[in-house]
Structure 1
Amino acid sequence: MNLIVQGRDVPTPSLKQLAKLTGATAIEAVSLTAFRLVVTDDSPRVEAAAFCEENSLDCGWVPAGRHIGDFGLLVMDMDSTLITIECIDEIADMQGLKPQVSAITEAAMRGEIDFAESLRRRVSLLAGLDQSALQRVYDERLQLSPGAETLLAAIRAAGIRTLLVSGGFTFFTERLQSRLGLDYTAANTLEVADGKLTGRVLGDIVDAQGKADWLNRVRIELGLDRGQVIAMGDGANDLKMMAEAGISIAYRAKPVVRAQAAYALNQVGLDGLIPLLGENGRKG
């Protein structure tokens, strides 16, 4: 096994302590913020995880034979994963309702409220808002998460397809698809009448099960098996889709998500996924 260690700063003494703890036979620099420890016995997993947690480092165990080219599909959540904001909270801010909407968002992310119900409740508060507020949020507030473009460039170079699936809104996913060259997107559609939001969502809501269904729909279309799929998210609404993937990544996620994911990235950006996918190229 290889132990991948990442952080905004990875001190040499910490690497040496981890090497001693795990019995690593080598330490290899993967990038300025990522290191690979070659380990013959991965039994000290709990101890290594505890050390990394205490020292503000991300770590993950990766099979030595894994290659990034073994994967075929990356499925990503949008809000607070690919981008830094929760779009609906920022739209609500245009109405002076951000605290009320954010509270419902947080409860849904923690899994305390059914997502579809929480979305309907939040969207209903937006009734009467001018449609132009959506463009303002996109132009003025939407930012990509750190490392997003680096990750997507590596994914494209490896021939991996991308699906952005969101409990948010098509207004944003469609623009991000065009901007970033994403292969597939799925999200909810806000109803608009006479240039204003009606407070309703059109069609079936893309909830936790909807995300999982979209993952499997695209996976089957591409002729992939489950082990070739990577899923990344941050909230309880992402758990079902993450359970359908060969590798699941919790990105700066709620505790309930970190507990169930194969890997958690808390210290580094989205490009921290790259070393976890193994080495460049394809086996054989």
Structure 2
Amino acid sequence: MNLVLQGPQAAPDTLERLATLAGAARVVPLHAHALRCEDLSFSADLKARIDAAAFEAGVDACFIEAGRSLADFRLVAMDMDSTLITIECIDEIADMQGLKPQVSEITEAAMRGELDFSESLERRVALLAGLDAAALQRVYDERLRISPGGEAMLDAVRAAGLKTLLVSGGFTFFTDRLKQRLSLDAAHANVLEIANGRLTGRVIGGIVDAEEKMRTVQKICAELGIDARQAIVMGDGANDLRMMGIAGLSVAFRAKPVVRAQAGVALNFSGLDGLLTVLA
């Protein structure tokens, strides 16, 4: 096993201290704020100690099998809200109704895995009934931002020949625009019902929950003629765990603790392009 240590503010002496704690046979600098510790004697106890020390130091500690690279994969599948983008779209839509605190509370509980996702989405969308649909464009124009490193990561994976999938428990209004803007290969999300220019408070068709996210990854893999183990899946919330669980590499991005605990690697401080360093 190798250990990749990186952090946007990580000082060399901090990285070296963590490398010493890991007991690496070799240490290879990757860039000014990252290094790779090679040929580790891996154990659960070592991982727990390194994870705790790294988190305290603002460093991402990613254990990964030696030799793994982007060339091992054919697909990158990403959650949208709080993963590819910095916001939770439904919370920002709710803000247009003066209901952000109520909706955000439900969103947070769902992402921690404390509420059934489908039920939580229906509850949140119902609160939006009557809102002028123009609010969606305002959220996209004024508040939606790509997460740090997102575009660099996408450029690199495309250059390496990987396909890209955006699969979201959010809404097609946003995924469709991001698909075009970022030249993504596929996108799947929920459809908000709009009548007479206003949100009805309902979703059209089935809800994209954890199971549907997993099925979507499986479907795209089948279309590409690849195994799910050739997919990298990135997410932050409990509803991402099923699709992350079938991936060859699961990446928790600034995620809830329940997701960090189950992911293959966790990027708590780095941007999305931290994936490239892990697989360098």
TM-score by length of 2: 0.95
Deviations 1:136-189 (A, max 9, x none): 000000001100011101110111111100000000000000000100000000
Mapping of 1:176-195 within 5 angstroms? Answer: 176-195=178-197
Deviation at 1:22, TM superposition (A): 2.7
Aligned residues: 278
Aligned to 1:6: 6
Residue identity (%): 60
Aligned to 2:203: 201
- Conserved 8 A contact 1:232-1:250: yes
- Conserved 8 A contact 1:126-1:198: yes
Which of 263, 266, 269 pairs up with 2:268? 266
Mapping of 1:140-155 within 5 angstroms? Answer: 140-155=142-157
Is the aligned partner of 1:174 residue 2:184?
no
Is the aligned partner of 1:220 residue 2:222?
yes
Q: Which runs of 5+ in 2 are unaligned?
A: none
Deviations 1:42-79 (A, max 9, x none): 34333322321221210112222212111001110000
- Conserved 8 A contact 1:104-1:122: yes
Deviations 1:3-27 (A, max 9, x none): 1001122222223323322332332
- Conserved 8 A contact 1:77-1:234: yes
Is the aligned partner of 1:113 residue 2:129?
no
Mapping of 1:1-284 within 5 angstroms? Answer: 1-43=1-43, 44-276=46-278, 278-279=279-280
Structure 1 counterpart SS, 2:262: coil
Structure 1 counterpart SS, 2:108: helix
Matches of 1:244 and 1:189, distance apart in 2: 26
Deviation at 1:87, TM superposition (A): 0.4
RMSD of aligned alpha carbons = 1.3
TM-score by length of 1: 0.94
Matches of 1:205 and 1:37, distance apart in 2: 43
Matches of 1:101 and 1:54, distance apart in 2: 31
Deviations 1:207-238 (A, max 9, x none): 11010000000011111112211111111111
Matches of 1:203 and 1:156, distance apart in 2: 32
Matches of 1:113 and 1:204, distance apart in 2: 18
Deviation at 1:40, TM superposition (A): 4.2
Using the TM superposition, name which of 218-227 and 171-180 deviates more: 218-227
Letter in 2 for 1:32: A
- Conserved 8 A contact 1:23-1:39: no
Aligned to 1:282: none
- Conserved 8 A contact 2:54-2:60: yes
Deviation at 1:274, TM superposition (A): 1.1
Q: Which runs of 5+ in 1 are unaligned?
A: 280-284
Matches of 2:32 and 2:138, distance apart in 1: 36
Letter in 2 for 1:30: L
